[in-house]
Structure 1
Amino acid sequence: MKNLYFALLLSQILLSCSPQRNLVYFSNLSELTNSQIKNQAELKLQKNDQLSISLSSLNVEYDALFVSANNNNAINGRLGFRVNNNGKITLPRIGDIMVEGLSIEEAQGLITKELKKQIKEPVVVAQLINFKITVIGEVNRPASINVPGDEINLLEALGMAGDMTVYGKRENVLVIREDKGVRNMVRLNLNDKSIYESPYFQLKQNDIIYVEPDKAKEKEFSPNNRALPIITACISAVAVLATALIR
């Protein structure tokens, strides 16, 4: 009987034990410090990006022409100029302007420069309106997210997806990025403060973030492990019955 109790106790211990995991972000951050971190992943315009470009100048008629020229390409009610397969956008009376590889500010400056050749005192505001990222895996709300501005980092993206579940591997988050037709995959450790130095911490349009489940979830949802509680319950029942009969 002692052997039976020992086996039962051992099985309970084995079932309850699981590897300890670090669920704390930046757990190796010993103290709070002030530091300046350069953005190593400044957003650059790519093919098929859609730019919202608003114009204000002393030439009201030209402003109206500029606004109406691409109404058919509007996204979410905002005027849109698509970056074509040649990396250019087409503006009224100006024609094609190469913007691929430029930042939003650089494209805005270039457009302003070209407009000054046509009108006086143009004020141009450009914004990327189809900036989208996708967060999947062990997060509470997996989704494709439309970014309202032109800047978002990995932590913000996870926050918009409801944060990781307790099963998400914080030390092994996969970021998938396509750049100039080349797909790159990088794994990041959110337990390590050095993640701020990664060019993949600041996200770019169409990035995919995949949070991998840990082994605890794999075991929990394994067909074999789902039978273990039943087996344990049966052993417990047999032990209780045997004790009652002996008494």
Structure 2
Amino acid sequence: MMKAHFIFFLVVWMSFGCAKRNLVYFSDVEGQSDYSVKVPEMIQPKIQKDDLLKITVSSLSPESNLLFNVGVLNAGTDARSSSNVQPLNEGYLVDQHGEINFPVLGRIRLEGMTKAEAVEAVTARLQEYVKDPIVNIRFVNFKITVVGEVNHPSTFTVPTEKINILEALGLAGDMTMYGKRENVLIIRERDGVRSAKRLNLNNKDLLASPYYYLQQNDVIYVEPDKIKAVQASTNQRSLTLFGIATSLAVSLMFNLRWFLARN
């Protein structure tokens, strides 16, 4: 009986194959050793078309603060109450020309600039109207998308504008057991060029990769392994072949058991 069971499992293994999946991140870091790597300089996100920017202006003039932060200044408005006024907009949209439309200043081109460069550009324009303005800019819609073999695929808005690939996978509930950790795809659009990069999350070299930190609008795709692909297939031919193979395996098992019982 033991021989029959062993032969049966051997036949099944040979029929359908045996997949091995490394589920450990950075598995090449030795368990009892320390590992360190110089932190690569983070690539500062650049302003792109369709970005939504929150721009706030502070100065010694309450009237200027109200005008540039709210966008209107009525003759009867008490400037001292400006702190209680709610902004009329949630941000400035970078249009298809790479520009925003700012109160009084009009159109300002910001596409391709980092936040620091955009602050300088807006500050320089404001100095024509306000003395010593302080400008702060942040992304309102800095988002990344995680799809594929993760537990909660979705698009996530990142308030800090700084997120690495592991944090992104954490937001998506981590990979499933079918996710290929050695073949994660990042799709990125920068300076009008869309590119794709494959990363191996089993390898410690990722910690020094310029793709470790994500950019706005990055898409992370976790590819399923072959077992999941077979399970998800609706191809009738594949289902038929699977059924035939199963029937042959069961038939072979009974024939082997009969043969061993006779001998």
Q: Distance in 2 between matches of 1:190 and 1:241?
A: 46
Query: Is residue 138–residue 168 contact of structure 1 (8 Å, CA) maintained in 2?
Result: yes
Whichever residue aligns with residue 48 of structure 1, its letter is D
Residues 6 and 171 of structure 1: CA distance in aligned 2, closer, same or farther (over 3 Å): closer
For residue 241 of structure 1, report the CA deviation from its aligned partner. Answer: 9.4
Question: Please, which moves more after superposition, 59-68 or 1-10?
Answer: 1-10
User: Is 1:173 equivalent to 2:184 in the alignment?
Assistant: yes
> 1:72-111 maps to which residues of 2 (within 5 A)?
79-111=90-122
Aligned to 1:158: 169
> 1:22-171 maps to which residues of 2 (within 5 A)?
22-30=22-30, 31-69=33-71, 79-171=90-182
Whichever residue aligns with residue 151 of structure 1, its letter is K
Residues 60 and 165 of structure 1: CA distance in aligned 2, closer, same or farther (over 3 Å): same
Aligned to 1:20: 20
Question: Please, which moves more after superposition, 106-115 or 8-17?
Answer: 8-17
For structure 1, which runs of at least 5 residues remain unmatched after alignment?
71-76
Whichever residue aligns with residue 29 of structure 2, its letter is L
Question: Please, which moves more after superposition, 217-226 or 150-159?
Answer: 217-226
Describe the SS at the equivalent of 2:130: coil
Q: Distance in 1 between matches of 2:194 and 2:97?
A: 20
Question: Please, which moves more after superposition, 215-224 or 182-191?
Answer: 215-224
Report the RMSD for the aligned CA atoms in angstroms.
3.3
For structure 2, which runs of at least 5 residues remain unmatched after alignment?
73-87, 234-238
For residue 21 of structure 1, report the CA deviation from its aligned partner. Answer: 2.0
Residues 224 and 57 of structure 1: CA distance in aligned 2, closer, same or farther (over 3 Å): farther
For residue 228 of structure 1, report the CA deviation from its aligned partner. Answer: 7.9
Q: TM-score scaled by structure 1? A: 0.81
Residues 66 and 199 of structure 1: CA distance in aligned 2, closer, same or farther (over 3 Å): same
Query: Is residue 47–residue 110 contact of structure 2 (8 Å, CA) maintained in 1?
Result: yes
Q: TM-score scaled by structure 2? A: 0.77
Q: Distance in 2 between matches of 1:189 and 1:93?
A: 50
Deviations 1:161-205 (A, max 9, x none): 111111100010011112233221111111111123333222111
Deviations 1:124-154 (A, max 9, x none): 2211011121111000000011111212111
Across the two proteins, how many residue pairs are aligned to each other?
240
Aligned to 2:210: 199
